[in-house]
Amino acid sequence: MTNDKPLAGIKVVEFGQFIAGPGATQILADLGAEVIKIESFNGDNSRRFGVSERSGYRSGMFMAYNRGKKSVALDLRNAEGVAVARELALGADVVVQNSRVGVMESLGLDAATLRAQKPSLIHASISGFGTRGPSRERPGLDIAAQAESGMMSLTGEPGGAPLKTGFAVVDAATATAAANAILAALFRCARHGEGATIETSLLAVAVGLQAQIWAEYGCSGQLPQRAGNAQPLVAPAADLIQVRDGHIVISAYMEDHWQRLCRAIEQPELGTDPRFATSNDRVANRPAMVAILNEALGGFGGEEARARLEAFGVVCGVVRNYTQVRASADVQATGIFQRVLDGKGGEVDVPALPYSFGDGAAEPGAPTSLPELGQHTLDVLEQAGFSAERRQALLDGKVIAGGGAA
């Protein structure tokens, strides 16, 4: 089958664990790149994340970020294994790694060393806290970045404890940021033949995600406070309203939108009520406003309330669980879900690229598969020019492991 996706012909070598690094290369793979995943004999730790009887002994994390890749199992504690990894890296267009700071340097697989041999190489590194500050050697995971970026300080109920988000938002956003940087570097390389040394961190991305809040802090000098589902500067905005079968959220903080909302709940007089005359007034009197909206809309089902409000041009959303989201005709129409062969004889749907191309390039197609640990070791080495004798010697010396064509 012809690969007509945007990154067809691009080769990526990944030294990745968990989400940020593998997530970045998953985007490149979805766009058509060949991604060679270098793993230890124990494999990416995400292969074992959350694996239990309840999960069917499958890792959702590994499924989400490693479909369609090629797995090469190498012992990087062995000098010969490092030499193999270096050959594969120098044969690639892009190298992506999210190892602890200093690990790649100790192996001679860092950007400076590899790009000295191949200046056109694009080398992307992802760390927890960056490589220049005092925390450069600290282990970094999503939750630490959420905590130390200020994100948790403004997430939660007023007066309550700080909260993390319900998913690894910083890891996922860092994967997207790294992929964006790599795509820009590939564009420059295509135009000018120049490679790139790219660095990003979970901390930098977590701070950057809060750009609006940082700007508001700079304008007011006031520390942002936890406000639950409310938007602290305008109202109603993201306010949670209870309906008969769950909850909806409403955004109607612009004055004309507020007037529409008042008409939608058949209380147009609220449009001139001094308690709610401006957005600032509504922020000051938010509990009374929310109580009125709960009373007015509480008898409706979520979809009924949504239809009524939207008939008046009011923005709202029904709070849905995952089963309801998956059944949504709107979500289905996006085509975002990709079927993945789970290695257990079944299929699982996971989100793929959140955009499409008019010509169909990069859109999900037939189910993709997850690589078994070392499944492609021998095939990849053969394609890289390793002779059958050398491949066998590496197997015999326990430098490599896995299957594929001998």
Residue 250's nearest CA partner among 190, 324, 305, 181 is 305
Whole-angstrom distance, CA of residue 355 vs CA of residue 318: 23
3-class DSSP string for 309-356: HHHCCCEEEECCCHHHHHHCHHHHHHCCEEEEECCCCCEEEEECCCCC
Question: What letter represents residue 281's amino acid?
Answer: D
From residue 29, how far is each of 26, 67, 97, 183, 356 by CA, in Å?
Answer: 5, 8, 15, 12, 15
From residue 38, how far is each of 21, 104, 336, 348, 380 by CA, in Å?
Answer: 12, 13, 27, 24, 11
Strand residue runs (E) in 4-116? 11-15, 34-39, 70-74, 94-97
Q: Is 239 known to be catalytic?
A: no
Catalytic residue among 142, 171, 239, 342: 171
Whole-angstrom distance, CA of residue 54 vs CA of residue 255: 50
| Residues marked as catalytic | 171
